[in-house]
A and B are shown apart, each in its own frame.
Chain A
């Protein structure tokens, strides 16, 4: 409570970094890159400090900081972390750290790129540590918006041949261009934000009936028992609002287009971290403040999650664009996150939060790799690749590690998460959720290995005889992220202990309202 404000440090480092980067000379190559790396490193070290000093025996919110901002409206700067936040801080810190190195070769306007990236990550850190809903929403928007510019300016365009009855419509909308994708992603997420804003304001409004003053403070709000009818409606509002960002079916289609068009570091941040904001929001605001609503709607959340898992995996199988494959695999894996949460069981919730982190690292690694492959071969169509393993053994190796984590191979992070969710699914009220979950894991094995085979295996392709392997700073993200996947897979308890503390508390809240 007292002592060094480490959370503020995590938050301030990228923000101040972004400001300084904006004032570096335009022609300097190293200034924005090195400054960003330093800012990201400070956040990373501070996050690691938080992970290792967080007292998981005691649980609860720790490292609390509180500064009133607008007392009359109950708005305050209130940050603290519990086990779930700690895990997600670690995820964010590692992804931005590796993202900085992945974008080392960004060809133009490097300083604006890095400034936006740092600004975005400030927002993400803010969301994960805010205990004030106003602050929460502020940071949330800060995290969502820079993506528009990142895709619109530094994105890549995929030419789509308009076909059939949809041809004219697609042509007029410029489907597949980076401008289209940027606009689609941003509008879709703002559509979600509208729901969130309504939900948060409703909570604020109703809180006055139970508390001396209307408040946005999360801790005070969590002591409120909101009326049953209120929870029934507003859990759903919050779920849909955050669900858009979490990629719930059928509101997920921004994700493949957006992630495919975004630059590598953008997709890493977005699929790796931002989608978790959505899931985090559902759990933190939805389930923790409205446990009865969560109980009422668990069937819906879970059912949609199972659709996500199978549907995303099958869609990924059909794609030939490498980035779409990874993007759809995110849709599938976010289904695992949401399913784990919907089970409302201890293993399920643990698996859900663990999967947020595991999938973040995994998909971060995958998008970094896809970026590298695209940069070197200038194609995203896997059917034009083949035999690349010979020229890029390093990339092939890391791709295999990421893919194996994705299909849930033991000793990699994905297995721990998926298996816990399986256990949770069985223990939940709908045991049959287990079937689509397991089937999804099998389909994942099919499309991942199929993609690996088509891209890296097979006869050597003369077209790529001069293609280089990854070089210099590009290795950093590959080594760090795959190392993390292995550490999390072999020693899951490092992260599960704090996560479990948070999961148990959430379950206690929910069990408290059980009829």
Chain B
């Protein structure tokens, strides 16, 4: 790695750390609130500028640029190293993370303005830690380092979901998020152990090389990469480990936008993209990823249909879109999956910020308490609409390009079932998003209270993301194809497929028609009210209940945690320990004590008792003699 690039990279990675350390250690500064906020924002803006330079440098010379140093030294076994790995994939992601983080932090100045200063300082301290960890996750050179920062972003997520820690729902959601992702990370950790044992290194170029040369046995490689994918399933909320993400909406809305929509939850997708050269050698795992991803996309979209909390609709939509990305990667298209993560970061962050703006104005999350907000919040309504169009995949918005890419790729790769899931999801996505649009911004009902437009400190970041949600698709598609199209593992075939996936194939047309159909039905039901949604709901009661109950998965998870683990296993072991293992110890003690008490009476110091003893003894001897 040359000095110039290293310098710029460090300028991306370090400012948030400086901000975190300063805000964290200088307590009066943090408790003052605003200074901490400004420091954090200056730091992330510095990172943003530097990251753009890094992108420019890396796109000019794709590298990969690497560097590594020993972290845990071992003598006869391979040492564990840390380092940097910069190629277009990492560089672009750095810029995306820095950009969204910067927008969200600026927006937070407005959204969190009613927080007390001490709390505000804490909020921005966490944000700096998150920015630092996420940027380092992206630029990490070794798998162990990815894992380390992976856990750290998980920590930030935990801290920020539980930001309002005095709310029991927030506290529960925070630990649920940590546990669920940690459960996936158990797999990740075992996978890492296997890779070290058989691959002998965590340095990405080494691993790529060893996977390609077949130095690691195919079966071992598959198993370890499957385990690594479990970690990604937890982090990127793939079925059935998705249950934490909707609850994570208990955190402040800007946090949901940054961590639970644009960046951290995409870390799983990023991880799979990062080690994609290894996954191309494990076709079985790829197939698994494709199925899990596409099923998640469909599954989450169905739940989103019946949510009444505006943030939860978006949360399920995020799960669904992450499923799309995984499905694309599983189908062997790095370009499609990664490109969708890129565009999704903008429009989903935008949607969350828009929802935050609405919540800020309405002081409620319930969409049925809203209505006709278009007239009262023009900016918010417009950007939300832009975000929705992008998400629904309507041209020329960003989502159209990336989503079509995925659907087409699934079709071409011959994965029929994942393809069908993806296709149905296109319809569902358009439907549930426009349901929100019509109910919240149009509809026939006046909103409760007196909503008002948010201040510029909130609307300007939203507009920046909105512009990106419009142009990111057609502007950058060429770049992505150039860098990731051919790297898709199937070489020329993939490149050729990428060439004619420009929306001209019949599949793309079908998906477009489905999207419009979704919008049309949403309009028919929620705007025109040609069909009453209440009657529809009653007609499909069992289905409705199943969706409202989220397929009972949350209940099953709670049962497993509460009844099986805590009340069951822990109770058994705890009781066994106190009463059996320690009971034996106590019993032996007690026995010793009791026998002491009993034998003590033999030596009580009373002469008459001793005399009785002597007489008894003589009688006994005489008796024995007589016999």
Does chain B have a CB within 8 A of A30? no
A302→B581 CA distance, assembly (Å)? 20
Tell whether A350 is near chain B: CB-to-CB under 8 Å.
Answer: yes
B584 CB to closest chain A CB (Å) equals: 8
CB distance from B187 to the nearest CB of A (A): 9
Q: Using an 8 Å CB-CB cutoff, how does the interface string of A385-413 with B read, 1 for contact, 0 for none? A: 00101100000000000001001011100
Q: B283 at interface (Cβ–Cβ under 8 A)?
A: no
> How far, in Å, is A450 (CB) from chain B's closest CB?
7
Q: Decide: A315 near B71, CB < 8 A? Known: A172-B590, A410-B151.
A: no
B186 adjacent to A441 (CB under 8 Å): yes
A474 to chain B, nearest CB (A): 16
Q: Which residue of B lies closest to A160 (CB)?
A: B578
B170 nearest in chain A by CB position: A457
A397 to chain B, nearest CB (A): 9
CB pair A315–B570 under 8 Å, yes or no, is yes
| B565 A346 Cβ-Cβ under 8 A | no
The reply to whether the CB of B535 lies closer than 8 angstroms to some CB of chain A is: no
Q: How large is the interface on B (under 10, 10 to 19, 20 to 34, 35 or more residues)?
A: 35 or more
Among A204-212, A360-368, A492-500, the stretch in contact with B: A492-500
Contact B73 A166 (CB under 8 A): no
Is the Cβ of B168 less than 8 Å from the Cβ of A347? no
B74 adjacent to A347 (CB under 8 Å): yes
> Is B446 engaged at the interface, CB distance under 8 Å to the other chain?
no
Query: Please, which residues of chain B bring their CB within 8 A of the CB of A460?
Result: 166
Answer yes or no: A485 CB below 8 A from chain B CBs. Answer: no
In this assembly, does A148 line the interface, its C-beta being within 8 Å of a C-beta of chain B? no
Residues of chain A in range 265-313 having any CB-CB distance to chain B below 8 Å: 311
B570 surroundings in chain A (CB, below 8 A)? 314-315, 317-318, 447
**Chain A, Cβ-Cβ closest to B582:** A253
Q: Considering the complex, which residues of chain A in the window 402-450 have a beta carbon less than 8 Å from any beta carbon of chain B?
A: 404, 407, 409-411, 415-416, 419-420, 422-423, 425-427, 434, 438-439, 441-443, 445-447, 449-450
Chain A residues in 8 Å Cβ range of B536: none
- State in angstroms the CA–CA spacing of A445 and B571 once bound together: 17
- Residues of chain A within 8 A of B155, CB atoms compared: 404, 409
Indicate if the CB atoms of B196 and A423 lie closer than 8 Å.
yes
Contact A347 B574 (CB under 8 A): no
Task: Of the listed stretches B102-110, B171-179, B615-623, name the one at the interface; the rest are far from the partner chain.
Answer: B171-179
Given known contacts A172-B593, A434-B190, A166 and B583 CB-to-CB distance under 8 angstroms? yes
A449–B178 touching, CB < 8 Å: yes
Contact B165 A456 (CB under 8 A): yes
- Name the CB-closest residue of A to B151: A410
Task: Give the contacts of B327-365 with A (CB-CB under 8 A).
Answer: none
- The CA of A318 and the CA of B567, in the complex, are separated in Å by 8
Interface size on A, residues (CB 8 A): 62
Please tell me if the beta carbons of A411 and B74 are within 8 angstroms of each other in the complex: no
Cross-chain contact A426 with B178 (CB below 8 angstroms): no
Contact B179 A445 (CB under 8 A): yes
Contacts of B186 in A (CB 8 A): 438-439, 441-442
Q: Is the interface of A mostly helix, strand, loop or mixed?
A: helix
Partner of B148, one of A166, A184, A410: A410
Which one, A169, A257, A346, A427, contacts B75 given CB within 8 A? Answer: A346
Q: Which of B147, B151, B583 has the most chain A CB atoms closer than 10 A to its own CB? A: B151
Q: How far is the CA of A283 from the CA of B569 in the complex (A)?
A: 33
Do residues B72 and A420 form an inter-chain contact, with CB atoms below 8 A? Answer: yes
A242 CB to nearest chain B CB (Å): 19
Q: In A245-264, which residues have CB < 8 Å from any B CB?
A: 250, 253, 257
| List of A residues within 8 angstroms of B182 by Cβ | 407, 442, 445
State the total of A-B contacts with C-beta under 8 angstroms: 148
Q: Which of A482-515 contact B (CB under 8 A)?
A: 492-493, 496-497, 500, 504, 507
Contact of B573 among A314, A404, A445, A446 (CB under 8 A): A314
B551 at the interface (CB under 8 A from A): no
Query: A449 with B175: in contact, given A172-B590, A439-B186, A500-B75 (CB under 8 Å)?
Result: yes
Alpha-carbon separation in the docked complex, A442 to B193 (Å):
16
Known: A446-B179, A453-B175. A318 touches B152 (CB 8 A): no
Is B162's beta carbon under 8 Å from chain A?
Answer: yes
A500 and B73: CB pair below 8 A? yes
Q: Which of A175, A422, A423, A459 contacts B168 (CB 8 A)?
A: A459
Distance in angstroms between the alpha carbons of A442 and B181 in the assembled complex: 10
Q: From known contacts A169-B587, A416-B72, infer whether A314 and B581 are also in contact, taking CB-CB under 8 Å.
A: no
Partner of A504, one of B75, B172, B183, B574: B75
* A450 surroundings in chain B (CB, below 8 A): 175, 566
Q: Which residues of B contact A347 (CB under 8 A)?
A: 74, 77
CA separation between A151 and B456, bound complex, in Å?
A: 63
Is there a chain A Cβ closer than 8 Å to B509's Cβ? no
Known: A390-B166, A422-B189, A438-B186. A318 touches B171 (CB 8 A): no
Q: Is A157 an interface residue (CB 8 A)?
A: no
- B70 close to A (CB within 8 Å): yes
In whole angstroms, how far apart are the Cα atoms of A387 and B175 in the complex? 15
CB interface residues, B 143-173, toward A, < 8 Å: 144, 147-149, 151-152, 155, 158, 162, 165-168, 171-172
**Chain B min CB distance to A252 (Å):** 8
A residues near B73, Cβ cutoff 8 Å: 493, 496-497, 500
Given A169-B587, A409-B155, A445-B178, A346-B74 contact (CB < 8 Å): yes
Interface of chain B residues 109 through 126 with chain A (CB within 8 A): none
Report if A55 contacts B (CB, 8 A): no
Q: Across the interface, which residues of B come within 8 angstroms of A468, CB to CB? A: none
* Any B CB within 8 A of the CB of A170: yes
Q: Is the CB of A318 within 8 A of B194?
A: no
Q: Is B2 interfacial (CB-CB < 8 Å)?
A: no
Given contacts A315-B570, A450-B175, contact A438 B590 (CB under 8 A): no
Q: Is B72 within 8 A of A422, CB to CB? A: no
Which of chain A's residues have a CB closer than 8 A to the CB of B571?
318
Contacts of B595 in A (CB 8 A): none
B148 cross-chain contacts in A, Cβ below 8 A: 410-411, 415
Residues of A within 8 A of B574 (CB): 314-315, 317-319
Q: Are B575 and A318 in contact (CB under 8 A)?
A: yes
Expressed in whole angstroms, the minimum distance between the Cβ of A291 and any Cβ of chain B is 17
Nearest CB of chain A from residue B125's CB, rounded to whole Å: 11
B543 within 8 A of A: no
* Contacting pair B590 A350 (CB below 8 A): no
Interface pair B593/A173, CB less than 8 Å apart:
yes
Choose from B144, B166, B190, B579 the contact partner of A387 (Cβ within 8 Å).
B166
| Interchain CA distance A169-B190 in the complex, whole Å | 45
B600 at the interface (CB under 8 A from A): no
Is the C-beta of B586 less than 8 angstroms from some C-beta in chain A?
yes
A453 proximity list for chain B (CB < 8 A): 171-172, 174-175
CA of A103 to CA of B366, assembled, Å: 53
Interface residues as binary, B19-34 with A (CB distance below 8 Å gives 1, 0 otherwise): 0000000000000000
Given that A166-B583, A500-B75 are contacting pairs, would A423 and B193 also be in contact in the complex, using a CB cutoff of 8 Å? Answer: yes
State A352–B257 Cα separation when bound (angstroms): 42
Q: Which of A110-145 contact B (CB under 8 A)?
A: none
Q: In the complex, which of the residues A169, A315, A426, A439 contacts B577, with contact meaning CB atoms closer than 8 Å?
A: A315
In whole angstroms, what is the CA distance A513 to B71 when docked?
A: 31
A-B contact pairs, 29 of them (CB 8 A): A172-B593, A184-B589, A315-B577, A318-B570, A318-B571, A318-B574, A319-B574, A346-B77, A389-B166, A409-B152, A410-B148, A410-B152, A415-B151, A423-B193, A423-B197, A442-B182, A442-B183, A446-B561, A449-B175, A450-B566, A453-B174, A453-B175, A460-B166, A493-B71, A493-B72, A493-B73, A496-B73, A500-B73, A500-B75
Question: Given A389-B166, A426-B193, 10 more contacts at CB 8 Å?
Answer: A166-B586, A315-B577, A317-B566, A420-B72, A422-B189, A423-B196, A438-B189, A449-B179, A504-B76, A507-B76
The list of the 5 closest CB pairs from A to B, nearest first, reads: A318-B574, A410-B148, A317-B570, A457-B171, A253-B582
B interface residues, Cβ below 8 angstroms from A: 70-77, 144, 147-149, 151-152, 155, 158, 162, 165-168, 171-172, 174-175, 178-179, 182-183, 186, 189-190, 192-194, 196-197, 561, 565-566, 569-571, 573-575, 577, 579, 581-583, 585-587, 589-590, 593
